[in-house]
Amino acid sequence: MAADAGLVNGGASNNEGFSKMMTEMRKVFETGRTLPLAFRLRQLDRFYDMVNENFDDMLSASNKDMRKTKFEAGSYELEILKIEAKKMKKNLKTWVQREWLPFNILVPFDSACIKRDPYGLVLIIGPWNYPFLLPLQPLVGAIAAGNCCILKPSEHSPHVSAKIAELIPKYLDPECYKVAQGGVQDTIQLLDQKFDYIFATSSTCIGKSIMQAAARFLTPVTLELGGKSPVYIDEDADLEMTTKRILWGKCINLGQTCIAPDYVLCSRKAQTIFIENAKKYLQEWYGDDPKTSMDLPRIINLNHFKRLSKLLDGTSGNIALGGDRDSEDLYISPTLVVDVNEEDMLMQEEIFGPILPFVTVNSKEEALKFIKSRPKPLALYVFSKSTATMDYFIDRSSAGAVCVNDVVVQNAWDGLAFGGVGDSGMGRYHGRYSYDTFSHEKSVLIRSFSKTGESMASVRYPPYSTRHMQIIGAFVKHFTKFNIPQYKPLAYLLSFIGGVASAIAVVGARWITPKKR
Ligand code: NAD
């Protein structure tokens, strides 16, 4: 691939090239260019314009890579990016303010705050399944927090990656934000460099390599990873609506969604009703032959097609619906597999395609035990009308998120953080969480030269005595009971009273402390 403005890649000199580029970016960061609020707001505006003005071009790029539908790419990627940029811009003025801590009676003349700093030069690594959303949504947070950033979109979605590489330098400050294209080797070479933060979305396996590379420089990471997201269906659930919602979540992007329902745990009765309902809905949505529907995207490439085919060929379960495949078209129809046992190939790895296996369980306890015996999922879905059942899973499971009576939609709920736990990742983002993720929270304490304050704290100075220890002990015992909010008049009044009391205590302590230790 050729080198271009804002597009860095290619050839044997990559390591050198990356290193030179990063030195230049660091110099720009050190000038403080990304720090002013006005700069960040301007970049967020430009980001919004980038998506808005190139909406159709972006849709066709993702259609070329995996025949993604305009509706899905538009609604589940580009519109979300516009909202993210807009909301970030709206709130940033408040979020960049120093966060002052409540008045502390132990140190009444001092003040303390959290000051959020950008990390510096950050790397964002994206996957191919939501190829615009997943590198660009974290970029909004990186910009807002005042970082410089290198984006590495996935090599498996080349049209989208090329589009990102074309647009970023056109709309954003090209010295602060760059795009690195290329394959796995290029990503590995990038990871040979020292970044100040790495944000990566990938499979769990790649996540481990990224974390190993980051550990060499003690670089902090956010890892948005994958895994098997289970669904539990209670017999009391509205099975009509349950089927519709789960099928939708499995069919969007042809199952290539990190939080797609991966497998279903339910009774045989619920399974039978689900299959009957699914036949009806698939027909309604995609017609007699779903392959001819323009609303189903394609598997990203032949490797993934073969991987999914192998899973279907090797399953010990029975295909109850679907199972059609066409390697030339990279098509697999939405497929339901029943009577799947725990050891089945379908139950070993994340499916990441339109295949939904069913494992029979006879109670919620059995379902939770099954889920807990496996790596912690990115999402856990529960369908039930019973509050006790909902609470059972909410309280006793460990997952990136729990969504009750629907799938995937937790991703779009404003105010909810997105992220995994254990094998499904670490760290979180979206909205305020993105801003925080890309900021270092620096603790700041500002002391005064107040004489009263100094005498209050004078017990810390040698010569030490038992009496001094007793005074400190008494302070800790009595005053840490209060958590007085930052209410200025009350703070001043208490400071005054505290000051007088401590001055008396200090003078008293000196008076009664024996001269010799
Ligand atoms: P991918 O193959 O495109 O890899 C992602 C990035 O990692 C690419 O830029 C690639 O160059 C780089 N990479 C590949 N191998 C590497 C290595 N050995 N060392 C360093 N970097 C390497 O995408 P993928 O991993 O196939 O994406 C799909 C996976 O991502 C699924 O498991 C899915 O669940 C997960 N995912 C998670 C989220 C989330 O938000 N948690 C979102 C989407 C996808």
- Give the mean pLDDT of the chain: 92
pLDDT tens track for 208-238: 999 999 999 999 999 999 999 999 999 999 9
Q: Residue 221's domain spans which residues?
A: 15-226+432-440
**Nearest atom, ligand 1, residue 188 CA:** 20
* pLDDT at 510 (0 to 100): 62
Which protein residue has the closest C-alpha to ligand 1 atom 2? Answer: 127
The pLDDT of 85-93, averaged and rounded, is 98
Q: Per-residue confidence at 2, pLDDT binned at 50, 70, 90?
A: very low
CA of 233 to the centre of ligand 1 (A): 30
Rounded to 10°, the helix 37-53/133-144 angle is 160
* pLDDT at 269 (0 to 100): 97
pLDDT tens track for 364-386: 999 999 999 999 999 999 999 99
Which protein residue has the closest C-alpha to ligand 1 atom 7? Answer: 202
- Contact call for residues 302 and 330 (beta carbons, < 8 A): yes
pLDDT tens track for 158-192: 999 999 999 999 999 999 999 999 999 999 999 99
Which protein residue has the closest C-alpha to ligand 1 atom 17? Answer: 206
Residue type, 329: D
Bigger pLDDT: 8 vs 388: 388
**Nearest atom, ligand 1, residue 227 CA:** 34
CA of 257 to the centre of ligand 1 (A): 12
Q: How far is CA 13 from the centre of its chain?
A: 33
My answer on whether 370 and 502 are in the same domain is no
Which protein residue has the closest C-alpha to ligand 1 atom 1? Answer: 127
My answer on whether 77 and 178 are in the same domain is yes
pLDDT of 4 strictly over 60: no
**Nearest atom, ligand 1, residue 184 CA:** 11
Distance (Å, whole) CA 135 – CA 128: 9
- Contact call for residues 300 and 156 (beta carbons, < 8 A): yes
CA of 210 to the centre of ligand 1 (A): 10
221 domain residue, yes or no: yes
**Nearest atom, ligand 1, residue 157 CA:** 3
**Nearest atom, ligand 1, residue 128 CA:** 3
Q: Which residues contact 68 (CB under 8 A, 6 or more apart)?
A: 59, 62, 253, 297
My answer on whether 237 and 380 are in the same domain is yes
Residue in this structure with the two tokens 């379902």, named with its chain if needed:
367
My answer on whether 134 and 194 are in the same domain is yes
Q: In 3D, which of 154, 136, 167, 150 has the Cα closest to residue 56?
A: 167
**Nearest atom, ligand 1, residue 400 CA:** 41
My answer on whether 497 and 411 are in the same domain is no
Instruction: Indicate the SS3 state at residue 96.
Output: coil
Q: What's the number of domains the chain is made of?
A: 3
Q: Return the exposure string of 96-110: e unless at least 16 CB atoms fall within 10 Å of the residue's CB, then b.
A: beeeeeebbbebbbb
My answer on whether 71 and 202 are in the same domain is yes
My answer on whether 293 and 401 are in the same domain is yes
Q: Per-residue confidence at 502, pLDDT binned at 50, 70, 90?
A: low
pLDDT of 7 strictly over 60: no
E-strand stretches of 135-183: 148-152, 177-180
* pLDDT at 253 (0 to 100): 98
Distance (Å, whole) CA 474 – CA 489: 26
What are the catalytic residues? 224, 258
10 domain residue, yes or no: no
Residues with CB under 6 A from ligand 1: 125, 127-129, 134, 152, 154-156, 184, 187-188, 191, 201-203, 206, 209-210, 224-226, 258, 350, 352, 378, 420, 425
213 domain residue, yes or no: yes
Which protein residue has the closest C-alpha to ligand 1 atom 4? Answer: 127
CA of 129 to the centre of ligand 1 (A): 9
CA of 215 to the centre of ligand 1 (A): 18
36 domain residue, yes or no: yes
Which protein residue has the closest C-alpha to ligand 1 atom 5? Answer: 127
Name the residue of 123, 164, 190, 202 whose CB sits within 8 Å of the most ligand 1 atoms, as the mutation to test its pocket.
202
pLDDT tens track for 105-122: 777 789 999 999 999 999
Which protein residue has the closest C-alpha to ligand 1 atom 31? Answer: 203
381 domain residue, yes or no: yes
CA of 425 to the centre of ligand 1 (A): 12
My answer on whether 260 and 386 are in the same domain is yes
Of 100-114, 174-188, 344-358, 404-418, where does mean pLDDT reach its minimum?
Answer: 100-114
CA of 225 to the centre of ligand 1 (A): 8
My answer on whether 325 and 253 are in the same domain is yes
* pLDDT at 160 (0 to 100): 98
Q: What is the CATH number of the domain that holds 288?
A: 3.40.309.10
CA of 125 to the centre of ligand 1 (A): 8
My answer on whether 279 and 310 are in the same domain is yes
Which protein residue has the closest C-alpha to ligand 1 atom 34? Answer: 226
Percent of the chain with pLDDT over 90: 82
Bigger pLDDT: 285 vs 450: 285
CA of 13 to the centre of ligand 1 (A): 24
The pLDDT of 57-66, averaged and rounded, is 97
Q: Which residues contact 229 (CB under 8 A, 6 or more apart)?
A: 259, 260, 261, 262, 377, 378, 379, 380, 381, 399
Q: What is the CATH number of the domain that holds 119?
A: 3.40.605.10
* pLDDT at 514 (0 to 100): 53
pLDDT of 298 strictly over 80: yes
E-strand stretches of 373-488: 379-383, 401-404, 425-426, 439-446
My answer on whether 304 and 376 are in the same domain is yes
E-strand stretches of 248-330: 263-266, 318-321, 325-326
The pLDDT of 446-475, averaged and rounded, is 88
516 domain residue, yes or no: no
**Nearest atom, ligand 1, residue 186 CA:** 11
My answer on whether 140 and 250 are in the same domain is no
* pLDDT at 109 (0 to 100): 86
Name the residue of 151, 206, 219 whose CB sits within 8 Å of the most ligand 1 atoms, as the mutation to test its pocket.
206
Which protein residue has the closest C-alpha to ligand 1 atom 14? Answer: 184
446 domain residue, yes or no: no
pLDDT of 515 strictly over 70: no
Q: Per-residue confidence at 461, pLDDT binned at 50, 70, 90?
A: very high
